[in-house]
Amino acid sequence: MGATLRHQTVDPDFRNALARFGANSVINCFNCGNCSAICSLSKGNTPFPRKLVRYAQLGLKEKLVQSPELWLCYSCGDCSVTCPRGAEPGETMAALRRYSIASFDPTGLTRRMYESPAVTLTVTLLLAGVLAFLLVSLGQAQPMHGWIFGLVPYEVVHKVGMGVFALLAIVSVAGSIGLVRNYRRSMDGDSPLRGLPLRARLRVLKQLGQEILTMNRHAQCNEDETPAPWYLTPRAIHYSVMAGFLGLFTASGLNFLFVYFLGWGWFPPARVLGTISGLLMLYGVSVSLYQRYRGKATCVTSSALSDWWLLAFLLVLAVTGFWIETAVSFGWAGPVNDTVLLIHTTMAMELVLLLMVTKLAHAVYRPLSLGLYFARQQRDIYEANGGNHD
Amino acid sequence: MPAKLTEAHRQALKLFREQHSDLDGTLKKYVADFRHERKQITEALRKGAGTVPELTRQTGLPVDQVLWHVTAMRKYGTVQEAGADGDYVKYEFIEQNGK
Amino acid sequence: MSEQKKSSNPKTESQKPRIGVYICRCGGNISDVVNTDALAGKVKQLGDVAACRVETFMCSDPGQATIVEDIQKQNLNRVVVASCSPFLHELTFRTVVQRGGLNPFLYEHVNIREQDSWAHKHDPVGATSKALRMINAAVGKLHHAEPLERIRMGNHRQTLVVGGGIAGLKTAAELAGKGVPVILVEQSSSLGGRVALLARTFPREDEGSVLAKKLIAQVTDHPLVRIFTRARIERVSGFIGNFDVKIAFEPKPDASASSDPQGAGHSANAAEVYASVGTIIVATGADPYKPARGEYGFGEQPAVVSLADFLRQLATLPNGNFIWNGKRVRNVGFLHCVGSRQVEGVNPPQADGKINDYCSRYCCTAILQQALTLKMRFPDVNVFDFYQDIRTYGGHEDYYTKSSAAGVVFLRYHAEEPPVVEPGENGSALKVRVKDYLTFGEEVEVPLDLLVLGVGLVAHDIPELIDLLKLPVGADRFLQEVHPKLRPVETAVNGVLLAGTAQAPMNIEETLSAAGAAAVKAAIPLSRDAVELDPFVAEVNAEKCNGCERCLTECAYTGALFKETVQVDGESAVKARVNPGLCFGCGACVAVCPTRAIDLKGWTLDQFDAMIDGLVEAVPVEG
Amino acid sequence: MSSGNGAAMRETENHFDVVVVGGGIAGLQSALDLADQDYRVLVVEKQPSIGGRMISLSKVFPTLDCASCITTPKMSAAAHHSNITLMTYTTVDAIEPAGDNHRLTLTQMARYVDTSACIGCRQCEYVCPVEYPDPFEQGMGALRAISVPFANAIPQYAVLNPEYCIGCGACVRACASDAIRLDQQPKTLTVEAGAVVLATGFHLNSTSLKPQYNASRSKDIVSPLQVERLLAPHGPYGRVLRPSDGKIPDSVAFVLCAGSRDQSIGVPYCSRVCCMYSIKQAMLLSGALPTADITIYYMDIRAFGKGFEQFYQNAKAMGISFVKGKVARITPQPNGDLMARVEAIEEDGRVMENRHDLVVLAQGIVPELVSPERLGAAKEEDGFIRRPDPLRPAWTGREGIFVAGTAAGPKDIVDSIMEAGSAAMEASHYLTQKRATADANAPSLELEVIGAASE
């Protein structure tokens, strides 16, 4: 365990706070350790979920947000299914991640959004309204029946885009710093990278890259499930959503770079990537939504608002994206297509804007935590070998 | 001792066979396997004492089946223990009692 | 003594002893060490041994059948079984021998398990030779055996129940219902014991006082039950079927006895009462452990209370805020195993120098029941539970599940590192520091406004009764049964039975079951006109007795041995005589008699001589 | 009381004062306690022998008495008691009211052996050519298609298992007393009883309840009843071997709460005895296998009975290791090793994978009687027989029907014996009350009061 905080006072009221993030069964846990032992990902010095459930029971908040284990979990649900007390450790982990995301957000907006569907809805709509207004009011300078990409002038995209990315960068950096700082605190201020030779650091990067590309850890989940066809495994679905998202992000970037910045007018690789990514996204999100709706897979015994929110957002994005692509290909125009574009653009911007305050934040925190985890593994190996790597 | 069956016995046997006819052949197969396995193990044991893994290698039968047969033979007096070999007990055949 | 004047069994008369010896393998308990087959070979060579057999389980039906068959077919007239302790099976085989048509006392039991195979595991040859010598001694003894008859004595078909708690009340109610008259003696002025004081019982959540009242109602108006309160047993003598009891009374403090809630008025107390009863049930109960001053802050911190006090007071509190001693309480702790599961060197010893190393069984469930009640009534109150193991066995697990779901926070300590209770700070009365083994052994600090000590049960202090009834007491100070599995409510004193928590900690349901079991064991001997006692009592050979009276001074059992003046050759002489009903067969008189005039039936001096010869005789042990 | 009552009852063959359903330790104790009061008792047992679960145990906690040594005398006492009639291999199909008595419908299953002729010589068994896994030995030993069920069975009659009998007739030829009746059919009969004691006992739930334990993939993931047989002096192997290949195990693990205290398998209650029998088995194993490592994985050690805590402490002192943590998964390896995955709760919370070569799953106790309603009783949510009156813990709520032992909930032998006595008491109380009309010889209380009685 390393050093511990001595004389930590317990705060049983914490579980009430946590309940607002969706963890209702923390108190049921009688600490048998089944959840940690059933989890294929709970290894070495990063055991979970019981450790975090226990911290939650006692209200040891600092220890909670300092735990990188939160982000090592892929929510496979094995722990909840086999829990002898119905304590739903998997749900607790998810709620703790929400709590953790909220705790990195100094504005407090995240917490309010998690706690209240009304706030989520208000923020979403309000932000959409602002963005749409911005886009439409500026776009009205152009004739509505013009070539649809004329709808949004370059300057608007540019300015809004700059603003968005600046905001995003600030929030992400703040959140990531918070996570790393917490992690360091749990290691008594020590850095997981300190003293690691370059080769080991590179290995950490390599492991991280591999993990992001393959999601191999995710494949270790659900040992007891009768194997689903490969295209229906949680890993495949998650992978398609993630790859779709990254692909679309990249395609948009490429398009922006070549079409608008360099003025190529037509950049086929971006279009191909965008199409494939869009299909992946559409597939992943649809299956995911369907499974959540049917409560079919172990991982979706219950879904919080934030889960639906994100999936719904991604679904609308993917559908509208394809609409626009089709419209562009066939040279359609008209107010319907304009509106679709407006929705698409608004939502894309909103998603990016809300990145760090929604479930999507895990796209930042999980790789970061994984990196720290790999680093710590490397360091353990390094130290076990008396400072000589390998 | 009614070494010879009376008519009443025969009638009873007939009735029993009718009532418990082995329609799908499960019992027939069980008994055939049982006899075959028992014979193989008996033959292996006749060659000399052995542990369960040794007998398994000689007969090619599943190891838990070998243990079960040896246990059964021990119970009914055709096999006895003959020391140990590492973590395994050696069993030997008792010729004179082999019925 | 081998010449018998009379015999109930013609078979044994004028016959040369034909002894059957039966050796039990006891599965492998005996035969894994003793070479039973070789032993049997040697035994066959012993004098007058007509049959010798080895069986896997002599006590099993086939084993027993063998003995019966041999007695009948081989004309055996004496039997030896070499097996386990006579405590387990002597009676079994006496019955077998009787079934075979022999007098049951022409039987000798040899213990080659506890006294041989188990004791000499690593010396099989020595153990085999020892077994042979032991059997030889038994064979020698049997040469001098004579048929004996069990002593039949009159039977007072009524029962004395000591203790008016639910165990005593239940036994009285059951026995009276079955038609057995009962005298119930209660030390205090009221019936119902501790249960009457309980708010709610688990697992059925019945009102304790209601349960007690129902039971009290069943006995108070029953014509076959006579209740004496403020009463105690002053004298007991006699034996099963014939206990003579004297009941004495505490003086009444004043006339205010009617203030008693359970109504002591049911009993018409007298100056003293004498009764003869056939069986006695001891249902004297147990007490909650009283923590020492300073034990977890008890007696020093007003915010530390015992569970018994807590549940009494909780029942009286109004709903709303949880107010204790005038202060609003937010955080309550429950501490398990106070006065139970104590560890040498960690917990200070009790007054008698011992520690209470036993588990008090009822407390885990009782604590969680209170914790749950507290959470249900005052949901704002935080409840912390400090435990070692949660022992909510069986369906009581429900209390654990429910109290968890209600939000009780559990912390697990190790007996070697009990929680430390300190004065609190920042407005809370107490601070409990505990190394919590659910949180990786981290030291956690819990601020508390109230700490409830989950006290265990200790045996009720009844030294006089223990002395009067010669009751065996276990290391845990609770009364000891004969055999925890086979005879769980009987004591070593025939006819004296245990009911309820006098024997061990139990909850109400278990106490009532135990009381039922004790009642049935009390009823069985009373279902007959006479009681039969083992014939192993002293007998005086008047011809040899010289009237020295040494035996009289040595005898520990009142009335068992007395002197009488008889006419011998026209002269009066003092001779000792035995009352077989009162004699315990201890043999003290035999040992002091200078003229060998006293003998114990079944264990005569001649028989001892023969046994010693048998042990040292040259027997064919080699090989 | 009583002998008068008893005698009157004896006139009709099919009328008993009390019928005890179940010939295990609780049923036998109830029967003995009633018969000793001169009630005429019928004990109906489903199995071919009385003795219940207890007769198959090795030793009992916390006294470590040999179980057969203390069960056989009770069995034998019941079998030879003049007031007790035994009916084995018989089921009770229904209990219905009949006036103020109970009418029981019984089915005597076909033994294919005439019990009035069988002398238990086992000649039929010696010639029978078919062997099958012996249920008494939990499948580890062999039994012939016709055989006496086990060495100390009572009664000692052979019974033929038609599932394995090939109808060769060898037994018929071998039987010296011509007792084999291959044409025997099940027989239905009714008896009347003044009162009934249900002592129908328990069975253990399945080892495959938790798929994570992979019991179907290894013969070395065993039931505690198997371990009882491994440890019994006359067990299948005559020593402790692991059932997959006969290896002498060097590392044995006990997984507590493998079938209880687990909502995910629908058994939320605690089975009460697993902690103690596991500790007992661990102690006996460490005696039988002095060099073996023995681990008990537990959640809470529930050593609550008299002498239990000391027993637990002794086991710890003997070197048996107690690890707090629920085993989440057992993974059989190709070489036969079993890896048990458990969190090191009391250390740093890391997940351990420990190697064992025999793993005992402490399964849960579930009621043997599935529908007590047929027998005139109701059941609780957990399936055990309901006892509605807190002051009469043996009463089922139906006039004259009582319950004893594990039929009313999991419990150990002592508590079963206590409850059996209690049930016997309540039954005899009930029978007395039923006949209490105008007894001329009504008992009265006798005592001598000296001094003025003051109210």
CATH of the domain at D348: 3.50.50.60
Can you read off the two tokens belonging to residue C15? 């016959």
DSSP designation for D94: E
Q: D-chain residues within 8 Å CB-CB of A35?
A: 328
Indicate the SS3 state at residue C451. Answer: strand
Chain C and chain D share a number of CB contacts under 8 A equal to 285
Tell me whether D393 touches chain C (CB under 8 Å).
Answer: yes
Give the rounded percent of residues in chain C with a pLDDT score beyond 70. 94
Record: contact D268-C401, CB cut-off 8 A: yes
Rounded to an integer, what distance in angstroms lies between the CA atom of residue C536 and that of residue C104?
A: 13
Q: Which residues of C touch D20 (CB under 8 A)?
A: none
Name, in order, each residue with C-beta under 8 angstroms of C167's C-beta and a sequence gap of 6 or more. Answer: C193, C283, C285, C499, C500, C501, C502, C511, C512, C514, C515, C518
Angle at alpha carbon of residue C118, lines to C115 and C119, rounded to 5°: 60
Q: Among all residues of chain D, which has the CA nearest to that of B77?
A: D126
Place of tokens 């407090």: A108
Residue among B19, B31, B99 minimizing CB distance to D166: B31
Residue type, A19: A
Cβ(A8)–Cβ(A60) below 8 Å = yes
Give the Cα separation of C173 and C177 in Å (integer).
6
Cα separation of D239 and D233, whole Å?
8
Query: Which of C378, C442, C445, C449 would best serve as a mutation to test chain A binding (most A beta carbons within 10 A)?
Result: C442
User: Is residue D311 located within the same domain as residue D390?
Assistant: no
| ipTM, 2 dp | 0.91
The answer to whether D332 and D242 have CB atoms below 8 angstroms apart is no
| Residue A336 φ then ψ, to 5° | -60, -50
The strand pairing partners of D96, in sequence order, are D103
Three-state DSSP class for residue C588: helix
Q: Which residue in D181, D19, D46 sits closest to D116, CA to CA?
A: D181
The candidate with the shortest Cα–Cα distance to C84, out of C147, C22, C150, C38, is: C22
Q: Which residues of chain D have pLDDT under 50?
A: 1-12, 454-455
pLDDT tens profile A339-360:
888 888 788 878 877 777 778 8
Q: Which of D255, D350, D353 to mutate to test the interface with A (most CBs of A within 10 A)?
A: D350
3-state secondary structure of D85: strand
Q: Which two tokens stand for residue C282?
A: 């001891």
| pLDDT for the residue numbered A159 | 66
Nearest to C88 by CA among C66, C128, C57: C57
Average pLDDT over residues A242-249: 85
Would you list the DSSP string of C327-364?
EE--EEEEEEEETSS--BTTBPP-TTS----S--SSHH
B88 touches D at CB < 8 Å: yes
Lowest mean pLDDT among B38-47, C253-262, D249-258: C253-262
Three-state SS sequence of A237-292? HHHHHHHHHHHHHHHHHHHHHHHHHCCCCCCHHHHHHHHHHHHHHHHHHHHHHHHH
Number of domains in chain B: 1
- Spatial distance between the Cα atoms of D77 and D25, rounded to a whole number of angstroms: 12
C-alpha to C-alpha distance for C111 and C58, rounded to whole angstroms = 13
B32 lies in some domain = yes
Q: Is A225 at the interface with chain D, CB within 8 A?
A: no
Strands C530-533 and C151-154, by their bridges, are: antiparallel
Average pLDDT, integer, range C174-190: 95
Using CA atoms, how far apart are residues D5 and C620, in angstroms rounded to an integer?
58
In a mutagenesis test of the D interface, which of C81, C228, C359 is the best target, namely the one with the most D β-carbons within 10 Å?
C359
- Residue A61 Cα, gap to closest chain C Cα (Å): 14
**Where do the CATH 1.10.1060.10 domains begin and end in chain A?**
14-104
D33 interface with C at CB cutoff 8 Å: yes
Tell me, yes or no, if A380 comes closer than 8 A to chain D by beta carbon.
Answer: no
In contact, D91 and D107? CB cutoff 8 Å? yes
The span from the CA of C10 to the CA of C14, in Å, is 8
Q: Are residues D337 and D288 in the same domain?
A: yes
> Does A36 contact D343 at a Cβ distance shorter than 8 Å?
yes
Of A106 and C164, the structure prediction assigns the larger pLDDT to C164
CA-nearest residue to D234 within chain B is B75
pLDDT above 70: residue B97 = no
The residue of chain B nearest to residue D145, with distances taken between CA atoms, is: B31
Residue linked to tokens 């010639």: D127
Q: Are residues D333 and D404 in the same domain?
A: no
Average pLDDT over residues C105-115: 95
Euclidean distance between CA atoms C231 and C219, whole angstroms = 17
Amino acid at C623: G
Q: What pLDDT is attached to residue C620?
A: 61
pLDDT (0 to 100) of residue A387: 60
> Which chain C residues touch D447 with a CB distance below 8 Å?
183, 226, 273-275
pLDDT band at A136 (very low <50, low <70, confident <90, very high): low
Between A339 and B66, the higher pLDDT residue: B66
Residues D291, D350 share a domain: yes
**Contact criterion met (CB < 8 Å) for D73 and C89:** yes
Domains by residue range for chain C, with CATH: 1-149 (3.40.50), 159-285+460-530 (3.50.50.60), 289-457 (3.50.50.60), 537-600 (3.30.70.20)
Are chains C and A in touch, 3+ Cβ pairs below 8 Å?
yes
For position A153, what pLDDT does the model report?
A: 57
Please state, as a whole number, how many other Cβ atoms lie within 10 Å of the Cβ of residue A272. 11
Same domain, D95 and D119: no
The predicted-structure confidence for A154-194, as pLDDT tens digits, reads as follows 566 556 666 666 776 777 777 778 777 776 766 666 676 77
Angular region, C535: left φ>0, alpha ψ -120 to 50, beta rest: alpha
Examine the pLDDT at A298 and tell me if it is beyond 60: no
Amino acid at C391: R
In a domain, B1, yes or no: no
User: What is the dihedral sign for C-alpha D324, D327, D333, D336?
Assistant: positive
Indicate whether A39 pLDDT > 60.
yes
Position A19 pLDDT exceeds 80: yes
Structural domain includes residue D447: no
Q: Is there a cis peptide before residue C253, judged by omega within 30 degrees of 0?
A: no
**Domain A14-104 in this protein, CATH class:** mainly alpha
Q: Are A327 and A337 in contact (CB under 8 A)?
A: yes
* Rounded CA separation D348/A45 (Å): 8
**Residues of chain A with pLDDT > 70: what percent?**
83
Say how many domains are in chain D. Answer: 3
Query: Hey, are the CB atoms on A85 and C438 less than 8 Å from each other?
Result: no
Count CB neighbours of A262 within 10 A. 10
Question: Which positions ≥6 away from D52 have C-beta within 8 Å?
Answer: D22, D23, D24, D25, D26, D27, D28, D201
* DSSP run (H or E) holding D338: strand D338-343
Task: Decide: D and B in contact? Rule: 3+ Cβ pairs under 8 Å.
Answer: yes
Residues D65 and D194 in one domain: yes
Q: D109 CB near a chain B CB, below 8 Å? A: no
* Average pLDDT taken over every residue of chain A: 79
Same domain as D171, residue D61: no
- The backbone torsions φ and ψ at residue A313, rounded to the nearest 5 degrees and listed phi first, read -60, -50
Neighbors of chain A with 3 or more C-beta pairs under 8 Å: C, D
- The amino acid sitting at A189 is G
Q: Are D231 and D348 found together in one domain?
A: yes
Cβ-based interface (< 8 Å): residues of D facing A: 210-212, 257, 261-264, 299, 324-329, 341-343, 345, 348-351
pLDDT for position A149? 45
Q: Which residues contact B25 (CB under 8 A, 6 or more apart)?
A: none
Rounded to whole angstroms, the Cα distance separating C288 from C281 reads 22
SS3 C213: helix
Using CB atoms, which residue from C404, C406, C444 is nearest to A8? C444
Taking the C-alpha atoms of residue A89 and residue C100, their distance in angstroms, rounded to an integer, is 68
- In angstroms, the separation between the Cα of residue D35 and the nearest Cα of chain C is 9
Q: Residue C14: what pLDDT?
A: 52
Instruction: Identify the pLDDT of residue C2.
Output: 40
Asked if the model's pLDDT at residue C606 lies above 90, the reply is yes
Residue B98 lies in a domain: no
pLDDT band at C342 (very low <50, low <70, confident <90, very high): very high
Judge whether residue C623 has pLDDT over 60: no
- Domain with residue B69: its CATH number is 1.10.10.10
DSSP letter (8 states) at residue C81? E
Span between the terminal Cα atoms of chain D, in Å: 32
D262 with A223: Cβ contact below 8 A? no
The average pLDDT across C177-197 equals 91
pLDDT band at A7 (very low <50, low <70, confident <90, very high): low
Q: Do the two chains C and B touch, given a threshold of 8 Å on CB pairs and at least 3 pairs? A: no
Least confident of B85-99, C253-267, C547-561, D82-96: C253-267
In chain D, residues with a C-beta closer than 8 Å to the C-beta of C208 are: none
Q: Is B16–D163 a contact, with Cβ atoms under 8 angstroms apart?
A: no
Q: Report yes or no on B51 lying in a domain.
A: yes
Query: What whole-number distance in Å separates Cα of residue C188 and Cα of residue D76?
Result: 45
Whether D233 and D197 map to the same domain: the answer is no
Measured CA angle at D177 (ends D175, D178), to 5 deg:
65
Whether A338 and A148 have beta carbons less than 8 Å apart is answered as yes
E strand segments, C283-419: 286-288, 304-306, 323-324, 327-328, 331-338, 382-387, 409-412
Min Cα–Cα distance to chain A from D347, Å = 8
Residues D396, D297 within the same domain? no
**C439 vs A58: CB contact, 8 Å cut-off?**
yes
- Residue D52 sits in the same domain as residue D101: yes
Q: Residue B63: CB partners within 8 Å, gap ≥ 6?
A: B52, B53, B56, D244, D245, D246
- Whether B76 has its CB under 8 Å from any CB of chain D: the answer is yes
CATH of the domain at D125: 3.30.70.20
pLDDT exceeds cutoff 50 at C256: no
- Mean pLDDT across the stretch A268-280? 86
Give residue D8's domain range. 3-107+186-201+368-434
Residue D20 CA: distances (Å) to CA of B14, B69, C521: 37, 39, 18
- Which DSSP category does D435 fall into? T
| Nearest-neighbour CA in chain C from D455: distance (Å) | 5
Euclidean distance between CA atoms D415 and C361, whole angstroms: 13
- Which residue from D210, D263, D329 is facing A37, i.e. has the nearest CB? D329
Chains adjacent to D (≥3 CB pairs closer than 8 angstroms): A, B, C
Q: What residues contact D7, with CB distance under 8 A and at least 6 apart?
A: none
- Range with lowest mean pLDDT among A131-145, A226-240, D211-225: A131-145
In this prediction, residue C274 carries a pLDDT of 94
Of C27-31, C573-577, D280-284, give the range with the top mean pLDDT: D280-284
Dihedral (CA of D203, C364, A27, C441) sign? negative
The verdict on residue B2 lying in a domain is: no
Q: How far is CA C392 from CA A71, C194, C202, C387, C412, in A?
A: 36, 21, 11, 12, 15
Give the domain extent around B51: 7-93
**Nearest CB partner across the interface for A82, out of D264, D324, D325:** D264
SS3 (DSSP) at C79: strand
